[in-house]
Amino acid sequence: MNFSAALSQYYGEYLILTLIVLAGLPITGLLGVILNWKLSLSYNQKSVSKKVRGKHCLVTGASQGLGKATAIELVKAGAHVTIIARGKKDPKTGISSLDSVVKELELSKVNPDQIIQFFAVDLTVYDKVVEMFEKLFEQGHNPEFLFCNAGSATPGLFIDQLPVQNKEKYEEGEHEWMMKSNYFTHVNVIRALLQVARKGESTEEDSICGISSKIAIKLPKSIILVGSVLSTLSFVGFSAYSASKYAIRGFADAMRSEMKPLGVHVGIYYPGNMATPGFEIENETKPKITAKIEGSSETVSAKSAAESLLAGFDRNLFYYSNDLLGELARVSVNGGNPRPYPVVEILATPLLATIFTVWAAITDMEIKSFYKK
C-alpha cells in the first residue's frame, strides 16, 4: 500500500486527531495559565523578608485598605516603612488617622530599630510631594522600594458625572477627579522622587535615559503601581474610574521600558474587589446595572490582596492580578510587554479570545435587557 492510499484510508482518523490536538492545545495553555497564576501568588514571607529587611519602603494611600495591609506586611518582614496619605484629622481629638495606623504598625515590628513614620500629604499637589521627598532625602530615608497605591473609586453613569455649573462657572466632574486621585497620585510620586534625586546634579556623559549614575543610585530598586482589573477591561458605570486606571497601565508600560536599563524593576498589580472601607463607599454610588454585571463575585480581605501584591513583587512580575478574570484579561491585553509564562499564554490566546468575545456579548445583552425592562 503506497502512502497516498494509506492517507486516504485513514483520512478520517487523522482529521479527528488533528482536531483534538488543535482543541487541546488552547485548553492545555489555559490550564497552564491558571496553574502558574495560582503558584505565582503563593506568599512567602521569608523570601520577602530577605528582600526588604532593613530597607526603606514607601507606601502611598496607606491610611486604610490595601495600602495599610501592605505596610503591615512589610513591617512584619523587617522593613523600615514610611506611609503616605492625606491623613484626615478627627475634628474632636485633632489626631490624624495616620497616627493610629503608625501605632498599629509599631505593634508589628520584628526589630526595635525599625523606622516607622508617616507624612500627611495630598499627592495630587505636586509641590507638596516634592517637599515630602526633600525631607525623606534629608533623613537619608529615600525609598529602596516604592508602592504606589493611593486612589479612590466613584462609579456612576457618564451623564451623572458631568461638570457642575455653579454661578456661571463649571466645577470639575468625576473624570477630572479620578485622573487626579488615581493617575496623578502615582505620577506625582515618581516624578517628585526624580526631581529631588537630580537636585544639584548635572547630566553626565554616562547618563541612561537622561539619568546619570549619581542619580540612578538614589532610585528605588523596585516600583509597584496599583491599577485594577478595570485597567484591562471596562463597562457601564466605570467610564471615569476605569479611564484613570487604564492611564496607570500605559504609564507603567513606558516606565518599565525606561527604568529597565537603570536596573529598576517596575510592576503593576491588578487587584479585584476587596472588602475595604473604600469598596463600601464605592458601592454607595454604583449604578444597579454595574452591580448586576459585576455579579456576586467574592471580595477578598485587604490582607490577602496585600500578600498577593508582595508575592508578585518578590518574583519581579510586571503585570499580575489576584483575581482570575484579571489574570485572564492580563494575558489577553499584554501588548508588547514581556510575558512571565510565554508558552502557555500563547497557547491559551485563541481560547481567551473566545472567552472574552462571549463575555462582551453577554454583557451587552444584560445591559440591553436591563434598560428594556
Report pLDDT digits (tens) over 7-33: 455 555 545 555 555 567 888 899 999
67-81, 133-147, 248-262, 271-285: least confidently modelled range:
271-285
Whole-angstrom distance, CA of residue 202 vs CA of residue 234 = 44
Asked whether the beta carbons of 330 and 344 are under 8 A apart, the reply is no
Per the CB < 8 A criterion, the answer to whether 315 and 307 are in contact is no
- Report pLDDT for 7: 46
Distance CA 102, CA 122 (A): 18
How many domains does the structure of the chain reveal?
1
CA distances from 340 to 251, 320, 324, 334 (A): 20, 9, 16, 10
Residues in CB range of 359: below 8 A, 6 or more apart: none
What is the distance between the alpha carbons of residues 50 and 59, in angstroms, rounded to a whole number?
A: 19
User: What DSSP assignment string belongs to 13-55?
Assistant: HHHHHHHHHHHHHHHHHHHHHHHHHHHHT---HHHHHHHHTT-
Q: Is residue 214 part of a domain?
A: yes
Residue at grid coordinates 503563593 = 42
Q: Which set of grid coordinates corresponds to residue 86?
A: 492625606
Question: Any idea which residues carry the catalytic annotation?
Answer: 241, 245
Q: Which domain holds residue 240?
A: 44-340
Tell whether 356 is covered by a domain. no
pLDDT in tens, 354-366: 999 999 999 999 9
Using alpha carbons only, how large is the chain's radius of gyration in Å?
24
Taking alpha carbons only, the member of 142, 147, 72 closest to residue 106 is 72
Q: Which of 100, 179, 189 is nearest to 143 (CA)?
A: 189
> In this structure, which amino acid lies at residue 147?
F
Would strands 56-60 and 319-321 be described as parallel, antiparallel, or unpaired?
unpaired
Q: Which residues of 116-152 are buried (b: 16+ CB within 10 A; e: fewer)?
A: bebbbbbbbebeebbebbeebeeeebbbbbbbbbbbb
pTM: 0.89
The answer to whether 347 touches 29, Cβ cutoff 8 Å, is: yes
Q: Mean pLDDT in the chain?
A: 88
- Whether 314 shows a pLDDT value over 90: the answer reads yes
The answer to whether residue 70 is domain-embedded is yes
Instruction: Please provide residue 144's backbone torsions phi and psi, each rounded to the nearest 5 degrees.
Output: -90, -20
Max avg pLDDT among 49-63, 200-214, 271-285, 288-302: 49-63
CATH code of residue 288: 3.40.50.720
Residue corresponding to grid cell 486612589: 151
User: Mind listing the pLDDT tens digit for each residue in 234-267?
Assistant: 999 999 999 999 999 999 999 999 999 999 999 9
In a domain, 15, yes or no: no
Report the pLDDT value the prediction gives residue 279, as an integer from 0 to 100.
Answer: 84
Residue 368 grid cell: 440591553
Between CA 219 and CA 168 the distance in angstroms is 46
pLDDT score recorded for residue 66: 95
Task: Give the pLDDT of residue 285.
Answer: 86
